[in-house]
Amino acid sequence: MKLTPIRLRRLNLGLESKEVIEALNISRSTFYKLEQGWSIPSAQVMKKLADLYNCTVDEIFKDFRIAE
């Protein structure tokens, strides 16, 4: 499994996949697609990620390499 910026952010916080999946209320498949960079999250999921990872939505945008 490659280490994408969003995955590194989760690992650095010591969060387990299951915790994040439950907090975001998404499927395991969707979670892994997001962490591997195969999918872009919705605005609602980005906000939840920012809150959960204690960062800004802009930082989440950068992790997913989304241009503003």
Q: How far apart are CA 56 and CA 38, in angstroms?
A: 21
Position 1 pLDDT exceeds 70: no
Position 67 pLDDT exceeds 80: no
Q: Which two tokens stand for residue 51?
A: 């809150």
The pLDDT assigned to 46 comes to 95
pTM, rounded to two decimals: 0.87
Q: Which two tokens stand for residue 52?
A: 């959960």
In the block, tokens 């969707």 appear at: 30
**Angle subtended at Cα 68 by Cα 20 and Cα 51, rounded to the nearest 5 degrees:** 25
The pLDDT assigned to 65 comes to 86
Mean pLDDT of all residues in 37-55: 94
The pLDDT assigned to 59 comes to 94
- List of domains in the chain: 5-63 (1.10.260.40)
